[in-house]
């Protein structure tokens, strides 16, 4: 947990309406997630879906829990009925135990070297952007607009926008 976030690396205009927030269930970062949402002018303006592994879990946990896709889709639709949100935030996080569990030690665990930190970023980007595409397709079929922003949080609670994967084939499945 960290107390001060004067400088998130964030430059886009904050959303004006309520958003749908998707995060992992990780207990270490819940307070940091709330703090980040407060910073984005979204205090009490988001429905929060927590799912182990965040985007990876929402896409069925690499085939380990395929029914989670339907669970996530049901939450997406209910939240949309209630809020008519136009923005989704996906906040992935580093050192995710669910990534280790669902992708295995080789694909889902990362050490502190710069190379491995970049690989970790890349794997999260791959799943987050795939989840974004899936949600955009749901929204398209519903005939509603949707923006999806993806982020990566570290264990201090620092948040950075997650750039698209450089190599979409890097999914950690190895």
Sites of contact with Zn ion (CB under 5 A):
24, 26, 96, 98
Q: Give the span between the Cα atoms of 129 and 139, in whole angstroms.
A: 15
Q: Which residue lies nearer to Zn ion by CB, 109 or 147? A: 109
Query: What is the smallest separation between the CB atom of 13 and Zn ion, expressed in angstroms?
Result: 28
Query: What is the smallest separation between the CB atom of 28 and Zn ion, expressed in angstroms?
Result: 9
Could you tell me the strand order of the sheet in which 46-50 lies?
46-50, 19-23, 87-93, 147-153, 159-161
Token readout for 172 is 């950690």
Q: Which residue lies nearer to Zn ion by CB, 96 or 123? A: 96
Q: Which residue lies nearer to Zn ion by CB, 24 or 61? A: 24
Task: Give CA torsion, residues 165, 59, 34, 151, to 10 deg.
Answer: 0
With beta carbons less than 8 A apart as the criterion, state whether 108 and 123 touch: yes
Query: What is the smallest separation between the CB atom of 23 and Zn ion, expressed in angstroms?
Result: 8
Query: What is the smallest separation between the CB atom of 53 and Zn ion, expressed in angstroms?
Result: 6
Cα torsion angle, 68, 110, 150, 40, sign: positive
Q: Give the span between the Cα atoms of 146 and 136, in whole angstroms.
A: 6
Q: Which residue lies nearer to Zn ion by CB, 80 or 93? A: 93
Q: Which residue lies nearer to Zn ion by CB, 132 or 146? A: 132
Query: What is the smallest separation between the CB atom of 109 and Zn ion, expressed in angstroms?
Result: 12
């Amino acid at each position: 947990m960290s107390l001060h976030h004067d400088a998130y690396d964030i430059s886009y205009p904050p959303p004006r309406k309520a958003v749908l927030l998707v995060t992992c269930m990780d207990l270490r970062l819940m307070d940091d997630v709330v703090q980040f949402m407060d910073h984005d002018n979204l205090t009490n303006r988001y429905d929060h879906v927590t799912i182990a592994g965040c985007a990876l879990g929402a896409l069925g946990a690499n085939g380990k829990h395929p029914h989670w896709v339907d669970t996530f889709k049901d939450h997406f639709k209910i939240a949309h009925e209630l809020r008519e949100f136009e923005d989704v935030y996906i906040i992935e996080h580093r050192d995710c135990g669910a990534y280790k569990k669902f992708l295995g030690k080789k694909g889902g665990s990362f050490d502190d070297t710069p190379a491995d930190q970049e690989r970790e970023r890349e794997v999260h980007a791959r799943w987050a952007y795939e989840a974004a595409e899936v949600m955009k397709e749901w929204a398209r079929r519903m005939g509603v607009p949707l923006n999806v922003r993806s982020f990566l949080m570290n264990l201090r609670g620092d948040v950075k926008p997650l750039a698209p994967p450089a190599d979409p084939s890097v999914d950690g499945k190895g």
